[in-house]
């Protein structure tokens, strides 16, 4: 957007060069420079989609590598630490004006609906998978319900004012209920009947940022009223119209990549820890493979088998004997018959120095520490704390970093759950169909600061008790 000064007054322009009215009546025309135009090349088919998966280093290298990382207990423990830090937090809702009775009523009504959802915590945990994949979605099965909305609003006849909830696309309109002369206000509300996770690797985007979900080619035409597009990985459901509100997508790290990395442009819609950790983990696995190979070959020592030179039968005999032994490495040495007696026996065991493998093991441990520091903001959380009386400051610094990571994860997810004008969330969709006359936002917030205050108070108490 840009501005100029006709008639001495500033005018803000949209992406098409049209003035943006201060009253906001004019529809936004989008950003001035489309993201897909900012790369050296465009990989587009008929559906104008970003390249799927190639923005992720693990998937780009090999899908098997990505799956192996997902099965790595150490990496998953770090991910779980990030997820649990947010999933266990209490939450609340906020409205712009806490003194406005109607805003407070809407806030409390939505809170009551959310607390009545048995799947809410599970949904929160699913969305937090975006930390790993970069994006993750929850497919929502919406349904109508009712709740007692107080305070009582009576109409001119002194009867109950039952709200007329608008019909949600793709769902039957809520059945009207007769008004009753009682002191309750039954409000029809939108709620979640069921929900299902949608793996982030199934989600991609078109150039206009419309998301899509990969579907089985043979089943694509069975979706009623769906817009099916073709990607280079196959057919996909474009999430337009009523389909969009059925999928709530959470994005973690949203990044724009270099001008020359056209194949990685999808990172603008989220990139996860899997991609960021891939090369460090790859190096670790290479070193671990070398250590494993070393111990597999010579870890149990080397057995030297001596046999009379020129005797084929003796050579076969020691070879057969070696196969009956353990996985030790074996060396067959021909010896002159006259020297066999000088050697004492025909078998000699030799231990192999392990200094090289120990060095590789330390490098592996170092990589683990680097990855742990990056993912959770501290070292020792998964191996036992190294903090002591001499390094309280460093331990506190690491805990502060970890807390800030939790705050960032929580704020990202809170934005997703709240939703926006362009991105349907859990809260704004409920408000839209339950309180259609509400023209103000309702924000979902995790109580991170309260949790952090409790942690600092406990830390201070511990230090005081230690006399520090």
The answer to whether 211 touches 247, Cβ cutoff 8 Å, is yes
Please enumerate in sequence order all residues whose Cβ is within 8 A of that of 364, keeping only pairs 6 or more positions apart, or say none: 284, 287, 288, 291
Whole-prediction pTM value? Answer: 0.78
**CA 133, CA 271: separation in Å to the nearest integer?**
6
**CA 255, CA 269: separation in Å to the nearest integer?**
7
**CA 97, CA 104: separation in Å to the nearest integer?**
8
Q: What are the backbone dihedrals phi and psi of residue 191, each rounded to the nearest 5 degrees, phi first?
A: -140, 175
What is the CB-side half-sphere exposure of residue 6 using CA atoms within 13 A?
4
Per-residue pLDDT of the chain in tens (468 residues, 90 and over written 9): 444 555 556 666 665 566 766 554 444 556 788 999 999 988 766 789 999 888 999 999 999 999 999 999 999 999 999 999 999 999 999 999 999 999 999 999 999 999 999 899 999 999 999 999 999 999 999 999 988 776 534 344 434 445 667 777 777 777 665 555 444 678 889 999 999 999 999 999 999 999 999 999 999 999 988 999 999 899 999 999 889 999 999 999 999 999 999 999 999 999 999 999 999 999 998 888 777 666 666 555 566 656 677 666 666 765 666 555 655 555 555 665 665 555 444 666 555 555 556 777 788 889 999 999 999 988 765 555 444 444 555 556 567 888 999 999 999 999 999 999 889 999 999 999 999 999 999 999 999 876 555 555 555 555 556 665
């Amino acid at each position: 957007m840009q501005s100029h000064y006709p008639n001495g007054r500033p005018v803000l322009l949209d992406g098409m060069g049209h003035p943006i009215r201060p009253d906001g009546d004019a529809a936004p025309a989008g950003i001035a420079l489309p993201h897909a135009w900012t790369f050296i090349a465009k990989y587009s088919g008929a559906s104008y989609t970003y390249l799927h998966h190639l923005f992720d280093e693990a998937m780009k290298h090999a899908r098997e590598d990505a799956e192996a990382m997902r099965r790595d207990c150490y990496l998953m423990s770090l991910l779980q630490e990030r997820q649990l830090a947010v999933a266990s937090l209490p939450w609340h809702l906020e409205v712009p004006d806490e003194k406005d009775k109607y805003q407070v009523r809407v806030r409390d009504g939505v809170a009551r609906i959310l607390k009545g959802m048995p799947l809410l915590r599970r949904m929160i945990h699913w969305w937090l998978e975006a930390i790993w994949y970069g994006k993750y979605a929850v497919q929502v099965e919406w349904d109508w319900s009712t709740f007692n909305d107080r305070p009582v609003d009576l109409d001119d006849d002194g009867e109950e004012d039952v709200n007329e909830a608008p019909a949600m696309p793709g769902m039957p309109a809520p059945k009207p209920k007769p008004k009753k002369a009682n002191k309750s206000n039954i409000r029809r509300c939108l709620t979640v009947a069921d929900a299902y996770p949608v793996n982030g690797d199934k989600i991609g985007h078109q150039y206009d940022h419309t998301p899509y979900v990969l579907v089985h080619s043979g089943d694509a035409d069975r979706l009623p009223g769906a817009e099916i597009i073709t990607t280079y990985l196959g057919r996909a459901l474009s999430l337009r119209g009523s389909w969009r509100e059925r999928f709530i997508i959470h994005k973690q790290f949203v990044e724009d990549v270099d001008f020359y990395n056209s194949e990685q442009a999808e990172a603008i819609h989220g990139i996860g820890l899997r991609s960021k950790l891939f090369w460090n983990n790859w190096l670790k696995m290479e070193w671990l493979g070398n250590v494993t190979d070393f111990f597999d070959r010579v870890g149990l020592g080397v057995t030297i088998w001596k046999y009379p030179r020129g005797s084929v039968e003796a050579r076969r005999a020691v070879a057969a004997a070696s196969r009956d032994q353990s996985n030790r490495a074996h060396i067959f040495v021909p010896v002159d018959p006259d020297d066999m007696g000088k050697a004492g026996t025909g078998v000699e065991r030799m231990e192999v120095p392990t200094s090289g493998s120990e060095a590789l093991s330390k490098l592996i441990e170092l990589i683990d520490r680097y990855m742990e520091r990056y993912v959770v903001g501290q070292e020792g959380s998964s191996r036992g704390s190294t903090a002591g009386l001499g390094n309280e400051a460093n331990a506190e610094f690491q805990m502060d970093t970890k807390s800030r990571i939790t705050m960032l994860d929580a704020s990202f997810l809170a934005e997703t759950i709240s939703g926006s004008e362009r991105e349907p969330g859990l809260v704004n969709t409920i408000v839209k169909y339950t309180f259609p006359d509400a023209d103000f936002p309702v924000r979902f917030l995790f109580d991170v600061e309260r949790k952090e205050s409790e942690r600092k108070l406990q830390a201070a108490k511990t230090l005081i008790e230690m006399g520090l």
